[in-house]
Structure 1
Amino acid sequence: MPTAATAARTILTRLHEVMASRSHAQAKLNTVVEVIGESLDSEVCSVYLLREGMLELFATRGLAQEAVHVTRMAIGEGLVGTIAGHVETLNLAEATAHPDFSYRPETGEDKFHSFAGVPIVRRERCVGVLCVQHVDPRRYDEVEIEALQTVAMVLSELIANADLVDEDEAFGLTAAQTGTERLRGLTLVKGLASGHAVYHQPRVTIEHTVAEDTEAERQRVYMAFDKMRDQIERMAAQAEFGVGGEHEEVLETYKMFAYDEGWSRRINEAIDSGLTAEAAIERVQQRTRMRMRQIDDPLLADRMHDLEDLSNRLLRIVSGQLGTAASKGLRQDAILIARNLGPAELLEYDKRRLKGVILEEGSLTAHVVIVARAMGIPVLGRVRGLRGLVREGDQLLLDADTGTATVRPAPALVEAFEARFAKNRERQAAYAALRDVEPRTLDGTRITVMMNAGLRDDVPMLNLTGADGIGLYRTEFQFLVSATLPARERQTRLYREVLEAAGNRPVVFRTVDIGGDKALPYLRHDDGNDEENPAMGWRALRVALDREGLLKAQARALLEAAAGRTLNVMFPMVSEPWEFDAAKAVFEKQLDFLRGQKRMLPEAIRYGAMLEVPALAEVLDLLAPRLSFLSIGTNDLTQFLFAADRANPKLAERYDWVSPAILRFIRRVLKGVEGHAVDVTVCGEMGGRRLEALALIGLGIRRLSITPVAVGPLKELISRLPLAELSAAMDGWLLHPPADMRAALVEWAAARGIECD
């Protein structure tokens, strides 16, 4: 029996002549089905193409010719529709026994029993189906199926380049996919944006599928494999990665696939069948994708994703189409599309052109989301089917406020969106006018409104918003976007620049909150095991105290940067007083060292803790005498109080920030520091939402640290609050909670003409 490569090569040799001929498209396809039918000794060979959302019989050998361009099936209808809908291969000894079989009398197919069909795929989308049928009941040999799959790849090129379907359908887009589409996802960063779709990893366009010289193609693949393996070896050999840990497992998996003889052998066999190097890699990758769709095991599916990533890397190397969209630069306002992104990758893009991000995956706690929020870029995540619905260059309207995006919007939609955008800009202009206005309630009580930051570029927002200072500077951003542990000198330079830019306004530096779900490739866990619940695992101050060298370097950097100034330093995720004492001792020891070196020192040091772990509230009477300030981190505190992972979409809306449980807890924290000179600040998203901020101020909170874009809206809100009346109402609600606290707050605000989110 001939091999799959031999069978496919025999067909491709004849098809090459057909594709090179000057005959029109229909004639070419009529010849194609004859060639395939004869080569596989099959009575029937048919090609169905996707046109206007339907699979249309376009050419056939063996079925009634009157059915050509007449027989049409929807995606998912019949065996052909099932192949297209699932992008899978079918091989049946008895077609009528399949539950999806649909008899079409006009084709005259009733005398044929066996059936085999493969999807015709173009750029990851099914554009048609190639199938064969036989009178005798039999399953087609694997050799024949592989030959059909290889031929289907060549047909996709013919379909795209020979005017067999229009351009949109050559890219697998149905009528619905060329019209307006509404996508839904999870809001990761709120905001509005419009722009044109840009894929983070541009698709590699395969121009030619049939090889002229198979040995030359083989050498191209060998060279690409060598280059790819060198890249991975360099990644694995970087000293700063250390040994052990999750990152090493990932790299080992990559190395395993990169050196997998089975993978390279399958690509070689595809070249033997007559495909170019690019087409051979894509051919094997298509088989991988089909297998992935049938895998229920999430661990195995992840490994298949690794192979998919490596295939893309190999394809980019062999084609010479290297780099992400960032390396090529954005030419117009863009909405970036990616499966996922790292924070460093996002920072590579021109912020003047990048207006929004849509991710196939993504979570609320992802590093890229934190960076995007700091950059003021709206992000929509967990949007399924992106690649099947959005083309490069499509116009997009991103409404991350409502968790939707509109693809190829109609003019009326664009006009309405622009009107909303304009209204939003007017509102922002009104907020900007409050830049130099002190936030005071109607009775004159001063509320301190500070902003959160984490990037050097965030600091100018102090002047733009008129914030009272930086209540939370996330120092871990520098660690997250770096490939190696930032040297002490680099840290010192950054902290000094931030302090100088802030001028006389205070900056609260939070020591690194890394580990857990913010794993760094160069910082390993001792046992190398994954944590089942990283948010409550080895992270933040726990990491810093275990890796004292890390905290020592940061302490020295902060002390040197704050020479001659007041240094505000805050320790994250303090659970017990001894952790605070241990962290402070590291700073004091570095302070003694610098004093001994006759170095210039900060004029004052204020130490604070971040209250995220509920246990700390029970020992505030012990810790308060040692604190200068306390920051309540509502993001983590909420998930710990409710035992609800905030990254879980099923729980995202389940628990309310203004529930009596949260508000009573915060009130108890305020009571716990009464009588001590401790400034209490609420940090996190809760303080940046108008209704939640109203509740916090009613509780007694007088200091808030929020995202820069929320400073203006919050100032406007504060100026409208009758504080004594609000405090009295809150006292009553906490003593006798209403059935719906949020509804009660909304009603109270509406009665006084106060607009809330």
Structure 2
Amino acid sequence: MPVSAAASAREILTRLHDVMASRNPAQSKLNSVVNIIGEALDSEVCSIYLLREGLLELFATRGLAQEAVHVTKLALGEGLVGTIAQNVETLNLDEAEMHPAFAYRPETGEEAFHSFAGVPIIRREQSVGVLAVQHAESRRYASEEIEALQTVAMVLSELIANADLIDPASAGGSTRLQSTAPELGHGFKLVDGMAAGVAVFHQPRITIEHTVAEDTEAERHRVYAAFDKMREQIDRMASQAEFGVGGEQDEILATYKMFAYDEGWSRRINEAIDSGLTAEAAIERVQQRTRQRMREIDDPLLRDRMHDLEDLSNRLLRIVSGQLGTAAQMGLRQDSILIARNLGPAELLEYDRRRLKGVVLEEGSLTAHVTIVARAMGVPVLGRVRNIRQLIAEGDMLLLDTSEESLFVRPTPAMQEAFETKLELSQKRRAAFAQMRGVAPVTADGHRITVMVNAGLRDDLAALDLTGADGIGLFRTEFQFLVSATLPQREMQRRLYKDVLDAAGDRPVTFRTVDIGGDKALPYLNHDEDGEEENPAMGWRALRLALDRDGLMKAQARALIEAGAGRTLNIMFPMVSEPWEFDAARDLFEAQRAWLAARGRKMPTEIRYGAMLEVPALAEVLDVLLPRLDFLSIGTNDLTQFLFAADRAHPKLALRYDWLSPSILRFLKRVTAQAQAAGVPVGVCGEMGGRPLEALALLGLGIDRLSITPAAVGPIKAMIRSLDRAALIEAMSAMLAEPGRSLREGLEAWASEHSVELA
């Protein structure tokens, strides 16, 4: 019969406290534990399995055959118990035999039991065992019973640790001797840059030694005091962050503070204390639930936000336990590269920026709050580096090069010398490119090329003056949506767009309407009502989503029109597949313009509408669409993967995703010629235009407008100024007439022969 989670757990913990305090042998304690749990939950079977030498061994049971104790063993992933331990998940089954992972062990006598529930026993975020109950009748266990089991499993973790029953290798330890040889790690570039320093582990985790409370009210007061101190820290940190005014970092820290003041979080911790846990154990219990939800969440953006809550949980644990624990609080003594599984934005801000040279994460993503804050701080970050603790030891010398997505561990003198040479050369090139800020991108034969930057954050606006770019060819408006905990209000959007236009001054800015959905799903927008999309890149996203949720697009249209008052406003619609979609989006904007004008609002002097060509189908109806366009922009990133039917993130298809393939270049040449013949300006925005050799190919197709990452402006300007455009166009025509597998070698040879700078 279902019971109150708190009451049931409190009853069990009260009895377990006496067992844990006794001087009985470990086996005797475990035998008592399964009887206590079984009686409290009215369960016919209660069993404890512990991980020893890689196998889950039945250590104690009430209800199964006693002869099976220390005999029945399951590998990780084998059977229901092995599945729970491997996946660190809970199973609740009314018919155990129906589960695909069920494995029958005749020596246990378990054939008499139908229902099964099991929870992992966790120590330092690793499964070290499983607690399971079974009944003869077929039924699912109530949520209160599962909650009680999970709480008891926390206490069991302490008991078996104190009894030395945890295999070190099973609890996150390692018998592997740390190598002294050089090694190379690979990851994913989150923030660009190079850095050298010693490895310093962030180490935010606290080991909880006592889980059962002696005095519930005393534990509650400890948590209240810790919450007050944590909130003071966050408020102080937010007020001292040195980012300037109005950046996305402000919104990130505001979201972070929202978690810190969340009453639901503090209430859940209080409920855990009610069940008989200490303050530390209650925080950890709620944190375990959060991690469990994170494992079940497919949405990467929502997982990123859950990392912020984990960061706060770690902070609260350190305060309530009196343990400092992080490298930030110990202080960095020399140039350092920080190593962590993941970080919250506030944890990163605690580090001395004079000493912190780079960050390496086991997890991390481009939209994580810590990534955006690190970018504002100018700290290079490499994410998704696996097996960090097996690869790196505290104090190892590290060389970080995120442009190569590489991490050199314990480099040899020769490797260090090569790295320093590259770093010095990179710094010299950056200095040389910076000197070109005021130099126009004009080819050697006198043709002016328009070079603009892609942007999406307020921090990106500084790149206009730093690079001397002609304007912003692509402002990704979705970034504001991605870093916000809730849908950005129209006034917040308007302020951002006005700030962008003010920063640009007389230079043009092209705003791409929000491109969300697909791999940029928003946790606060239920975009997937029909279930998970198998191919989100080609699913309900971008303009498709915006036209369907037209309230979102109307709010954005009003914000853009109001922000563009008295100026020329350039609006670009993403992922247009057919002319009617462009018409519908433009009509929506025009309706909002009329609505605002009727209310006396100041209007833009002109609104220019453009389309982004990413879907190949649009190329087949360009003759219909071009007369309605003010400009056309080719988005090479999505376009190329759609043309090749090759996911650009798939490592096995990386070589197939070649921008210098004849099929891609011929397609681009046809589209460019058609747009130019119609008198419609055509440009390219995307990674292709930011790579000197690929940009050379685009110029050879007659394209003279590029929108690229700010870091690429200098190299692209240098390439343009060393180039005879007319000769290149002639050479490209010849290459495309009789192409090989790729034009890469031919273009490299031509560039070398004509002294084109491809730095």
Deviations 1:49-98 (A, max 9, x none): xxxxxxxxxxxxxxxxxxxxxxxxxxxxxxx9x956x5966879899999
1:629 counterpart residue number: 631
Q: TM-score, normalised by structure 2?
A: 0.67
Question: What is the 5 A alignment of 1:572-583?
Answer: 572-583=574-585
Letter in 2 for 1:215: E
- Whether 1:153 and 2:161 are equivalent positions in the alignment is yes
Q: CA deviation at 1:645?
A: 2.1
Task: Name which of 686, 689, 692 aligns with 1:690.
Answer: 692
Q: 1:424 to 1:513 in 2, by over 3 A?
A: same
Letter in 2 for 1:205: I
Give secondary structure in 1 for the equivalent of 2:593.
helix
**Distance (whole Å) between structure 2 residues aligned to residue 320 and residue 696 of structure 1:** 57
Give secondary structure in 2 for the equivalent of 1:442.
coil
**Distance (whole Å) between structure 1 residues aligned to residue 220 and residue 754 of structure 2:** 71
- Whether 1:220 and 2:222 are equivalent positions in the alignment is no
Q: CA deviation at 1:710?
A: 0.3
Question: What is the 5 A alignment of 1:108-507?
Answer: 150=158, 153-154=161-162, 175-176=177-178, 181-187=183-189, 190-195=192-197, 202-206=203-207, 209=209, 214-216=213-215, 220=219, 278=280, 317=316, 319-320=318-319, 335=337, 337=339, 339=341, 355-361=357-363, 378-390=380-392, 396-407=398-409, 413-414=415-416, 416-507=418-509
Letter in 1 for 2:572: M
Letter in 2 for 1:569: I
**Distance (whole Å) between structure 1 residues aligned to residue 326 and residue 680 of structure 2:** 49
Give secondary structure in 1 for the equivalent of 2:600.
coil
Q: CA deviation at 1:540?
A: 1.4
**Distance (whole Å) between structure 1 residues aligned to residue 350 and residue 481 of structure 2:** 16
2:734 counterpart residue number: 732
Q: 1:277 to 1:170 in 2, by over 3 A?
A: same
Q: 1:376 to 1:285 in 2, by over 3 A?
A: closer
| Matched-pair contact (CA < 8 Å) for 1:442–1:719 | yes
Gaps of 5+ in 1: 15-33, 42-79, 101-119, 130-144, 161-168, 232-250
| Matched-pair contact (CA < 8 Å) for 1:340–1:361 | yes
| Matched-pair contact (CA < 8 Å) for 2:213–2:219 | no
| Matched-pair contact (CA < 8 Å) for 1:121–1:156 | no
Letter in 2 for 1:203: P
| Matched-pair contact (CA < 8 Å) for 1:8–1:151 | no
| Matched-pair contact (CA < 8 Å) for 2:188–2:383 | yes
Deviations 1:462-515 (A, max 9, x none): 111111111111111112112222222222222222112112111111111112
| Matched-pair contact (CA < 8 Å) for 1:508–1:570 | yes
Letter in 1 for 2:580: W
Moved more, 585-594 or 306-315: 306-315
Letter in 2 for 1:320: I
| Matched-pair contact (CA < 8 Å) for 2:451–2:470 | yes
**Distance (whole Å) between structure 2 residues aligned to residue 519 and residue 87 of structure 1:** 39
| Matched-pair contact (CA < 8 Å) for 1:194–1:335 | yes
Deviations 1:251-294 (A, max 9, x none): 9xx99999999x979x979x7xxxx76479879999999x99xx
2:514 counterpart residue number: 512
Residue-pair matches, total: 622
**Distance (whole Å) between structure 1 residues aligned to residue 328 and residue 320 of structure 2:** 11
Give secondary structure in 2 for the equivalent of 1:674.
helix
**Distance (whole Å) between structure 1 residues aligned to residue 607 and residue 564 of structure 2:** 9
Q: CA deviation at 1:744?
A: 2.4
| Matched-pair contact (CA < 8 Å) for 1:607–1:628 | yes
Letter in 2 for 1:583: A
Letter in 1 for 2:161: M
Q: 1:537 to 1:466 in 2, by over 3 A?
A: same
Q: 1:227 to 1:500 in 2, by over 3 A?
A: same
**Distance (whole Å) between structure 2 residues aligned to residue 305 and residue 721 of structure 1:** 44
Task: Name which of 700, 716, 719 aligns with 2:718.
Answer: 716
Q: 1:146 to 1:399 in 2, by over 3 A?
A: closer
Q: CA deviation at 1:336?
A: 5.4
**Distance (whole Å) between structure 2 residues aligned to residue 522 and residue 287 of structure 1:** 21
Moved more, 615-624 or 384-393: 384-393
Deviations 1:297-324 (A, max 9, x none): 999xx99999999998767645536999
Letter in 2 for 1:432: A
Moved more, 546-555 or 384-393: 384-393
Q: 1:356 to 1:688 in 2, by over 3 A?
A: farther
**Distance (whole Å) between structure 2 residues aligned to residue 660 and residue 350 of structure 1:** 50
| Matched-pair contact (CA < 8 Å) for 1:607–1:629 | yes
**Distance (whole Å) between structure 2 residues aligned to residue 279 and residue 367 of structure 1:** 27
Gaps of 5+ in 2: 1-11, 32-49, 60-67, 77-120, 130-152, 231-258
**Distance (whole Å) between structure 2 residues aligned to residue 648 and residue 342 of structure 1:** 28
2:86 counterpart residue number: none
Q: CA deviation at 1:595?
A: 2.8
Q: CA deviation at 1:671?
A: 2.1
Letter in 1 for 2:589: F
| Matched-pair contact (CA < 8 Å) for 1:257–1:307 | no
Deviations 1:606-634 (A, max 9, x none): 11111111111111111111111111111
**Distance (whole Å) between structure 1 residues aligned to residue 346 and residue 287 of structure 2:** 28
| Matched-pair contact (CA < 8 Å) for 1:541–1:574 | yes
Q: CA deviation at 1:194?
A: 3.3
| Matched-pair contact (CA < 8 Å) for 1:374–1:453 | no
Q: 1:309 to 1:513 in 2, by over 3 A?
A: closer
Give secondary structure in 2 for the equivalent of 1:215.
coil
Quote the RMSD (CA, aligned, Å).
5.6
Q: 1:487 to 1:643 in 2, by over 3 A?
A: same
Give secondary structure in 1 for the equivalent of 2:443.
coil
Task: Name which of 602, 610, 622 aligns with 1:608.
Answer: 610
**Distance (whole Å) between structure 2 residues aligned to residue 125 and residue 713 of structure 1:** 47
| Matched-pair contact (CA < 8 Å) for 2:566–2:605 | yes
Report the identity percentage.
Answer: 54
Deviations 1:518-576 (A, max 9, x none): 12222222726322222112211122212222222222222222222211111111111
Q: 1:599 to 1:459 in 2, by over 3 A?
A: same
Question: What is the 5 A alignment of 1:39-58?
Answer: none
**Distance (whole Å) between structure 2 residues aligned to residue 321 and residue 327 of structure 1:** 18
Q: CA deviation at 1:582?
A: 1.4
**Distance (whole Å) between structure 2 residues aligned to residue 564 and residue 357 of structure 1:** 44
**Distance (whole Å) between structure 2 residues aligned to residue 287 and residue 551 of structure 1:** 36
Q: CA deviation at 1:178?
A: 7.3
